[in-house]
Every structure is written in C-alpha cells, then in structure tokens.
Structure 1
Amino acid sequence: MSKENKPPKRKTATWRIVFRWMIPLFLFLSLIGGMMVGYVVLGKEEMSEVFQLETWEHVMDLIFAP
C-alpha cells in the first residue's frame, strides 16, 4: 500500500480516559489528605476519628448552628 491509500491512524482514546480519571482521583485524594492533615495536625485528634461519620456530623452541626 502506498501512503495515499493508508487509512489515517486513529489516536487512541486511552490517554483521554486516563486523564479523565486522574483529575477526580487527585481531587478525592486531596480531600482525604486535607481532612487528615486538618483534623490530626491542626486539631490534634486521633486519625481513627477522621473517618467516623459522627465526627463530621458534629462539625456540620457546629458550622450551621443557629
């Protein structure tokens, strides 16, 4: 086949898929890291409490208290 008869190469969508998943993944990891740093380092509390729902319910109650 000559160059004129070759079909154009399709760019693989693999990189687009990877980049579309990397951004939300990095945002999620930043959220978790920020929660851990803020609660453990700044708040001087135990890391096991970071992932308890009651902790964040209490924080939301403090923020939105009338």
Structure 2
Amino acid sequence: MSDKPAPKKKAPRPKWLDVIWLIFKIIRIPVLCVLAVYVGLWLGYSKLGHQPAAEIFHMSTWRHLYDLVFAN
C-alpha cells in the first residue's frame, strides 16, 4: 500500500477567464511594440535632441523631418 494521498483535482477555470487570458496573449506584443516606439522617440527627440517631449505628437514635427530626409 502507498502512503501518498491521491492528488487533488483542480477545479476547471471559467470560460470567461480563458477568453480574457487569450485576449491578453494576443494584444501584449503589439502593445509592447507601440510602447517601445514611444520610449525610443522620447529618448531620441527629448533627451538626446533637447526638444520638448510633447512635440513628438505634432504632425508638423514629422512633416519637417520628412522634408529634411527627402529634400532635393
């Protein structure tokens, strides 16, 4: 005879918890990518470039950058 007790069965997880976990797994990579882009822009433009961080979101900043890169 074995002295070990029978292993307890885990209660099944609710279906809604499985759905929430699946949604989290799907959107975590795109969210991390957007966060990495934002942090990179903030570091490059604000800290290295000594410009106001709020200008990252202005379209005129990116239009000016585009004109600088693709100027004739």
2:36 to 9, 30, 34: 30
Separation of aligned partners in 1, 2:58 and 2:38: 13
2:64 to 53, 58, 63: 58
SS at match of 2:57: coil
Counterpart of 1:39 in structure 2 is 45
Deviations 1:28-53 (A, max 9, x none): 11111111111001111111211111
Query: Which structure 2 segments of 5+ residues have no match?
Result: 1-11
- How much has 1:16 moved relative to structure 2? 2.7
- How much has 1:13 moved relative to structure 2? 4.2
Q: TM-score, normalised by structure 2?
A: 0.67
**How many equivalent pairs are there?**
58
Aligned-residue sequence identity (percent) comes to 35
More helix, by proportion: 2
Aligned residues: CA RMSD: 2.0
Q: TM-score, normalised by structure 1?
A: 0.72
Query: Which structure 1 segments of 5+ residues have no match?
Result: 1-8
- Structure label with greater radius of gyration: 2
